Chain A
Amino acid sequence: MKSFPLISLARSGKVNPKSIEDYLNTGGFEAIKKLSSMSPESVLDEIEKSGLRGRGGAGFPTGLKQRFTSSSCLSCEKRYVVCNADEGEPGTFKDRMIMETDPFLLIEGMIIAAFAIRATNAYIYIRGEYYPSIENLENAIKQCYDKGFLGKNILNIGLNLEMGLFKGAGSYLCGEELTLLESLEGKRGYPRIKPPFPAEKGLWGYPTLVNNVETFSHLPFIISNGSEDYIKIGTAESKGTKLFCVSGNVNKTGVFELPLGVTLRELIFDVCGGMKDGYKFKAALLGGAAGTFADQSMLDIALAYETLKKEGLTLGSGAVIIVDDKTDLKKMMKSILHFFKHESCGKCVPCRIGTRLLLNEISKQNSAEIDMNFLLNESEYMAKTSLCPLGQSPVLPIKSYIRFFKNFQ
Chain B
Amino acid sequence: MQSLNFNLIKEILMKYPQKKEYLINALHELQNAHPHKYIDDAIMDECCKHFKLTKSQIFGVITYYTMFNTKPQGQNIIYVCNSPICSNMGSDNLYDILKQKLKINDNNISEDGKFSLQKVECLGRCGKAPSIMINREIYTGMTPEKIEEIISKY
Contact = CB atoms under 8 A, between A and B. Distances in A.
Contact of A129 (B21, B57, B133): B133
22 contacts: A89-B122, A90-B121, A167-B25, A167-B28, A169-B27, A169-B66, A170-B65, A170-B121, A172-B121, A185-B20, A186-B23, A186-B24, A188-B64, A255-B127, A289-B84, A321-B84, A321-B126, A327-B88, A331-B87, A335-B82, A335-B84, A336-B84
Contacts of A53: none
Given A90-B83, A336-B84, A130 B20 contact: no
Interface in B64-112: 64-68, 79, 82-85, 87-88
A128 B28 contact: yes
Given A90-B84, A289-B84, A331-B87, A188 B61 contact: yes
Contacts of A350: none
Interface string B99-139: 00000000000000000000011111111110001001000
Contact of B126 (A129, A247, A342): A247
A30 B131 CA distance: 38
Contacts of A166: 21, 24-25
Given A186-B61, A247-B126, A342 B84 contact: no
A223 interface: no
B127 A93 contact: yes
A186 B20 contact: yes
A254 interface: yes
A189 B64 contact: yes
Q: How large is the interface on B (under 10, 10 to 19, 20 to 34, 35 or more residues)?
A: 35 or more
B33 to A, nearest CB: 15
Contacts of B127: 93, 245-247, 253-255
Given A90-B83, A90-B121, A93-B127, 6 more contacts: A93-B124, A129-B79, A167-B28, A169-B28, A245-B126, A335-B84
A332 B129 CA distance: 14
B149 to A, nearest CB: 22
Nearest to A187: B61
Given A166-B24, A186-B23, A331-B88, A171 B65 contact: yes
Contacts of B83: 90-91, 289, 335, 339
A4 interface: no
Contacts of A274: none
A359 B60 CA distance: 26
Given A90-B85, A92-B124, A188 B67 contact: no
Interface residues of A, number: 49
B117 to A, nearest CB: 15
A125 to B, nearest CB: 10
Interface string A241-263: 00001111000011100000000
A186 B22 contact: yes
Contacts of A186: 19-24, 51, 61
A127 B124 contact: yes
Given A167-B28, A169-B24, A187-B61, A93 B125 contact: yes
A339 B61 contact: no
A335 B124 contact: no
Given A166-B24, A169-B27, A129 B87 contact: no
For B61, B65, B120, the residue with the greatest tally of chain A CB atoms inside 10 Å of its CB is B65
A245 B125 CA distance: 10
B67 A183 contact: no
Given A188-B60, A247-B85, A170 B124 contact: no
A331 B86 CA distance: 12
A18 interface: no
A151 interface: no
Nearest to A91: B126
For A92, A170, A245, the residue with the greatest tally of chain B CB atoms inside 10 Å of its CB is A170
Contacts of A285: 84
Nearest to A95: B124
Interface in A114-167: 127-131, 166-167
Interface in A282-324: 285, 289, 319, 321
B85 A170 contact: no
A96 interface: yes
Contact of B88 (A128, A167, A255, A332): A332
B87 A335 contact: yes
A343 interface: yes
Interface in A5-63: none
Interface in A64-97: 87-93, 96
A328 B89 CA distance: 10
Contacts of B124: 87, 92-93, 96, 127, 129-130
